[in-house]
Amino acid sequence: MCALVVAEAGNGICYAKTGQNVWELFQSTMYKDSRNEEVNMIAEIWRPLGQFDLEPTGETKSCYADGSSVLEGCREIRITGAGMQMSLDRNLHLELVMEGKDADEANLTPFSFLDIEMKDGTVCHMLGKLPEGDEIIWVKDTGKCVGYSHQGEAVTGDAYLGAVIRGGGFDPYGTSAWEEIFAVAFDRFINVEEIAGVYLDGEKLPLK
- Residue 86 near residue 182 (C-beta atoms within 8 A): yes
Amino acid found at 208: K
Rounded to 5 degrees, what are φ and ψ at 97?
Answer: -60, -45
pLDDT of residue 26: 42
Mean pLDDT (the chain, rounded): 77
Q: Specify the DSSP class assigned to residue 207.
A: B
- Residue 107 near residue 182 (C-beta atoms within 8 A): no
Distance separating alpha carbons of residues 136 and 140, to the nearest angstrom? 12
Of the candidates 182, 188, 106, the residue with the CA atom closest to the CA atom of residue 147: 188
Q: Report CA-CA distances (Å) from 92 to 95, 117, 167.
A: 5, 28, 11
121-152 pLDDT, tens digit each: 999 999 999 999 999 999 887 778 899 999 99
The more confidently predicted of residues 44 and 176 is: 176
Amino acid found at 147: G
